[in-house]
Chain A
Amino acid sequence: MAQTRRGHLKMYLGYAAGVGKTYKMLEEALELKHQGMDVVVGYVEPHGRKDTIAKVVGLELVPRRKVQYKTATFEELDTDAILQRHPQVCIVDEFAHTNVPGSERTKRWQDVQILLDAGIDVLTTMNVQHLEGLNDQIWQITGVRVRETVPDWVVKDADEVIMTDLTPRALLNRLERGVVYAPDKARRAMENFFQESNLVALREMALLQTAHEVEVRQSTQDEVEDVLRNLKPGALALTPQAASQKERILIHVTPAPASAALIRRGRRVADYLHADCFAVYVESEEDSKRAPTPEFEALEKHLSFARNLHIETRVLQGKDAAKVLVDFARQQGVTQIFVMRTHENGWPHIFGRDLLRQIVHLARDMQVTIVAERGRSAKL
């Protein structure tokens, strides 16, 4: 049987509800239909917006799946029905959406992967604040801890990311005119997330993220060629020569809660530097013999979080954590070690600063990046 071509994923990226992502996406859907493509709507959330509703008219809708959860009925993307219908192009709004419990897949983006695997092209929408890698920065700026996140690699895998821009003032006007939300919700929104300074900052992030996505897609080809040129026949990918071509980032994971932010930061820097990235925990021998503790569970959670972000993880053993870590880093051709600056309080001293000092002392042939937790700025 012939192998199906993976579907193309095109994402309309915005920075807030109401900037016009869905509208732009539908505009393109109509254009594709006009060109003779077989286009269906898998899911569109019109939010009662007139312009958006008008655009859906004339497109075939695949009925949504109704899900009963507790006392309410929810509507979700019906992935199976779309697979059966098998259009060329499917419209799936709100990429970062979390499915109602009991759905086959937790996240809508995972449903989209299924459609792509089946060779269906997908147009989708997302706001920049849903990117996992920006989670801490978004919190720092807006005070909102976004829960519905999408791993950065999923967006990186999209074939194209298009920025949907609108000036914050125009967006605020739309809110005031009641185009985006009902009046009550609009007022609450403007007092919180939709403050002008937040919007300006989010918009800048969306622009820079899109620029990054564009740049990554240009350089992939160049880099493949570079690597091919530099690889000697029969050489392993990890030879010092190859390693010197490429940065390699090692993230030191501990059970401390701050590890999540460290993993996000390391991943993000690795993405921007086009670097390899892996995460390591050093466990002492006593640790390995002990029964599972809350700390152990926290650690497992961090390591699995790292793997979800496509970071290879490793657990090493040894008494001297700093030495084990740095030796391993050296052996792996690591160029940069990421460690968390732990709080003076809350985390045992001995595990914090002294370890940090030792790592810096030992890793004299590589860079050590000490990531401080991002504090929350005062309300603007």
Chain B
Amino acid sequence: MAKLTEQRPDPNQLLRQVQAEEQEQRGSKLKIFLGYSEGVGKSFRMLDEGRRRRERGEDVVVGAVQPKVPDEINSLLQSLEVISCKTIAGVPVMDLSSIVARHPQVCLVDGLAYDNPPGSAHATRWQDVQELLAAGISVIASVNLQFIEERRDQVEKITGKHVTATVPLSFLKAADEIELVDAPPELCMVRAAQGTKPGSVLATRQQHLSELREIALVLAADVVDHQLEAYMRSHGIEQLWGAQERILVYITPQASSSKMIESGRRNAERFHGELFVAYLDQPGITAKDQAALHSNLSLARAAGAQVVTLDGDDPVDAILEFAKARGVTQIFVGQTSDRGWRDRLFGTTVDDLVRVAQGMDVRIFPK
């Protein structure tokens, strides 16, 4: 049902497109391997890709390796050209000038989350990578979930480990490709066995790893969703469907909105989906209704919802237009009937919505 439109893209969209095209012209690409914990094997996967690319004739160098590497990685490194990091004030720093001078097609960077010492060209290693990309060198890098700035607190609560150097999520989202390295937690435990404290309880560790896996999977899905959206926009496709569940809770002063918002939150969480809470901007609303609306909107924000103000005379049109544009899969509405003039039950908004909402679920909540 998605239809191609001739409409002019908005300025932001245009800008993103220009940036994408610039990168296209430079020819450099960024690919990131994301792991949920140490020992999942992302370094191996990354270096193995480097090896295969080299075998296919690409000019590949290694720009950074982890300080301690297991045997299987060492043997992979043997087959690759390595430009060693410089150690400044005890910190490994990528040798940017040597890499740029050598100018390979592809540079492998194992470990993105490093802060460079003062006086370096850039404060962080991921910024070094940006310079390589700008110089026309493609980069394949690896990073662990715990080092993603936006997930740091969440991970720290699970593992109790604090990290200082991080990589912003936006850097991942801007990558051309990200690949999730998943592995069974027990395999990962065997591989990282040297790293664990002797007293650590196996079951707890397994539970932790499982929680980290879930976060990493959802994060990867989020980045992929972002790419899907970008793909569709760049192809001028008006989005009408998505791979994930998107829930729109439509609130009115009459409906029991707080229950609906809570249910929306729980559903979005369970589905790892997106939550929108929308209301129709109505002039001449009573002070009491205004207050109810305000408190519901703060509830919505607390629930992590994106709050949407709909304009227009007809709520059904407004809801539907938004729902279509954003690929909503479930609309939550309250029963609108009041005893009295509205007693034509199911003859108003809800009725119309059910009639016109194609390809979506409409969930009607009790008053």
Contacts and interface: CB of A to CB of B under 8 A. Distances in A.
Nearest to A160: B184
A162 B217 contact: no
Interface string B1-24: 111100000000000000000000
A283 interface: no
Interface in A210-250: 210-212, 214-215, 217-218
A164 B41 CA distance: 13
B354 interface: yes
A208 B218 contact: yes
Given A31-B187, A272-B270, A165 B31 contact: no
A141 B207 CA distance: 35
Interface stretch (A37-45, A104-112, A354-362): A354-362
Contacts, number: 158
A28 B345 CA distance: 60
Nearest to B235: A380
A201 interface: yes
B364 interface: yes
A68 interface: no
A197 to B, nearest CB: 6
B180 A207 contact: yes
A201 B243 CA distance: 5
B177 interface: yes
Given A167-B179, A218-B214, A201 B228 contact: yes
A372 B362 contact: yes
Interface in B212-237: 213-214, 217-218, 220-221, 224-225, 227-228, 231-232, 235, 237
A100 B213 CA distance: 37
A140 interface: yes
A370 B361 contact: yes
Given A163-B182, A165-B182, A361 B346 contact: yes
A54 interface: no
A60 interface: no
Interface string A12-54: 0000000000000000100100000000000000000000000
A170 B177 contact: yes
B114 interface: no
A273 B227 contact: no
Contacts of B127: none
B2 A166 contact: no
Nearest to A378: B2
A214 B214 contact: yes
A203 B179 CA distance: 10
Contact of A208 (B213, B237, B244, B266): B244
Interface string B153-179: 000000000000000000000001111
Given A165-B179, A376-B1, A380-B237, A208 B243 contact: yes
Interface residues of B, number: 61
A141 B367 CA distance: 35
Contacts of A201: 228, 242-243
Contacts of A141: 241, 243
Could you say which of B178, B330, B364 has the most chain A C-beta atoms within 10 Å of its C-beta?
Answer: B364
A347 to B, nearest CB: 14
A65 interface: no
B366 A369 contact: no
Contacts of B3: 378
B227 A200 contact: yes
B363 to A, nearest CB: 4
Nearest to A221: B207
Contacts of B180: 163, 165, 207
Contacts of A205: 243
A140 B335 CA distance: 29
Contacts of A302: none
Given A200-B227, A211-B217, A162 B354 contact: no
A202 interface: yes
A197 B232 contact: yes
Nearest to B185: A160
Contacts of A86: none
A189 B181 CA distance: 26
A211 B218 contact: yes
A367 to B, nearest CB: 6
Contacts of A372: 357-362
A321 interface: no
Contacts of B176: 169
Given A360-B364, A368-B363, A372-B358, 15 more contacts: A162-B184, A167-B31, A200-B228, A203-B224, A204-B244, A207-B217, A211-B213, A211-B217, A211-B221, A218-B210, A272-B270, A273-B270, A377-B240, A380-B235, A380-B237
Interface of B: 1-4, 31, 176-184, 187, 207, 210-211, 213-214, 217-218, 220-221, 224-225, 227-228, 231-232, 235, 237, 240-244, 263, 266-267, 270-272, 330, 335, 345-346, 350-351, 354, 357-367
Q: Give the top 5 A-B pairs by smallest Cβ distance, nearest first.
A: A211-B217, A204-B243, A207-B221, A167-B177, A163-B182
17 contacts: A141-B241, A163-B180, A163-B217, A164-B182, A169-B177, A202-B243, A203-B224, A208-B272, A212-B271, A215-B214, A218-B214, A272-B270, A360-B364, A365-B366, A367-B365, A373-B359, A380-B2
